[in-house]
């Protein structure tokens, strides 16, 4: 088992990662009758895409001795309707100011584009990935 999710009432859930015991709280967003006091489930979907990009880039960077510590991602999620769903996720990765070679950039871009989360999402979802060097 990967995780356990408990409905806590009030449109809130508590998700526990089984291996580590770490907890994530979700809350329905304000535009869907919630309080918006925590990540919504769709926020987590969008955020997991960025986390996946950075994680696999980090693996490839480590293997190629590329220092990308401090890289960060800004995530923007757009909701669609009929049916209500995530229609677009924009991920802007801001790389720390370092001297990246063209080869390093190419390696990291190709790696980010191969993110397993992005490959698991619907082709109907518009995904926009930008990397700022």
Digit-by-digit pLDDT tens for the chain (133 residues) are: 999 999 999 999 999 999 999 999 999 999 999 999 999 999 999 999 999 999 999 999 999 999 999 999 999 999 999 999 999 999 999 999 999 999 999 999 999 999 999 999 999 999 999 999 9
Angle between helices 41-63 and 102-113 (to 10 degrees): 140
CA atoms within a 13 Å half-sphere pointing along the CA-CB vector of 99: 0
Q: What sign has the CA pseudo-torsion 83, 33, 52, 93?
A: positive
Residue spans per domain, the chain: 1-39, 40-132
């801001």: which residue's tokens?
Answer: 94
Q: Could you tell me the two tokens for 78? A: 């757009």
Q: Count other Cβ atoms within 10 Å, centred on residue 128.
A: 11
Q: What is the pLDDT of residue 28?
A: 96
Fold of the 40-132 domain: GMP Synthetase; Chain A, domain 3 (3.30.300)
Q: Could you tell me the two tokens for 18? A: 């089984």
**Helical residues (DSSP H) of 64-115, grouped into ranges:** 102-113
The three-state (H, E, C) secondary structure of 43-68, written as one string: HHHHHHHHHHHHHHHHHHHHHCCCCC
The answer to whether 29 touches 40, Cβ cutoff 8 Å, is: yes
């Amino acid at each position: 088992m990967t995780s356990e999710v408990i409905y806590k009432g009030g449109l809130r859930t508590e998700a526990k990662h089984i291996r580590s015991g770490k907890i994530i709280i979700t809350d329905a967003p304000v535009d869907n009758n919630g309080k918006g006091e925590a990540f919504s489930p769709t926020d987590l979907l969008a955020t997991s895409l960025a986390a996946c990009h950075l994680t696999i880039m980090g693996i490839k960077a480590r293997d190629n001795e590329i220092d990308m510590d401090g890289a960060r991602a800004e995530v923007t999620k757009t909701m669609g309707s009929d049916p209500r769903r995530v229609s677009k996720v924009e991920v802007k990765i801001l790389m720390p100011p370092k001297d990246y070679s063209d080869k390093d950039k190419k390696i990291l871009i190709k790696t980010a584009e191969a993110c397993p989360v992005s490959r698991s999402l619907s082709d109907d979802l518009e995904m926009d990935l930008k990397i700022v060097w």
